[in-house]
Amino acid sequence: MKKLLLICVFLANAFVLSPARAASAEDFFHQGQIFAAQKSYDKAQEAYLQALATDPEFEPAYISLALIYSMKKDYAKALFQLDAALKLNPKGALAHKVKGLIFKEQGKAEAAIASFQAYLKAVPAEQLKAKEKQEIEALIAQLEKEKGQPAAEGGQ
């Protein structure tokens, strides 16, 4: 039984690593997601970088890579990745939201507010859940209060 299992593993690896089956950006991205779920952040980072090397226009890899850098407190690299994602997709809601969270973490209230407002504008109304909208508006209100300014109605 062990021999059969070893043969199956060998054949599976041969298929995955064969030149005829070149890994796509999506393959590397999914690999990164698995590593991130396992808290193997360095391996996840490498997989996301491979995804971007394979396809520099694969937006989800930029955002996931930004999240890894953010967890490592490397905010400059995280913001760079998010800017790259937004260059590809200026209305990318998730990139705006993550930027807002990073700016909030850095204590950059004005930039955080602008990013959160851009997020609210970027998400189609039918996709924005009421709870999510309330949470983002509460963050904006909190940041405006911290700045010493009255909160804007509706977060926009």
Convert the pLDDT of each residue in 113-139 to its tens digit: 999 999 999 999 899 999 999 999 999
CA distances from 51 to 10, 39, 47, 63, 150 (A): 24, 19, 6, 12, 43
Q: In the chain, which segments carry CATH 1.25.40.10?
A: 26-90
Q: What is the domain class of 26-90 according to CATH?
A: mainly alpha
- Do the Cβ atoms of 118 and 110 come closer than 8 Å? no
Average pLDDT, the chain: 86
Residue 28 and residue 22: Cα distance in Å, rounded?
A: 11
Convert the pLDDT of each residue in 30-55 to its tens digit: 999 999 999 999 999 999 999 999 99
Per-residue pLDDT at 155: 46
**What six digits make up the tokens of 9?**
């593993």
pTM for the structure as a whole: 0.78
Model confidence at 18: pLDDT above 50: no
For residue 33, give the nearest of 55, 16, 48 by alpha carbon.
48
Per-residue pLDDT at 45: 98
16: CB partners within 8 A, 6+ apart: 23
Other C-beta atoms closer than 10 Å to the C-beta of 90 total: 11
Q: What integer is the mean pLDDT of 21-25? A: 77
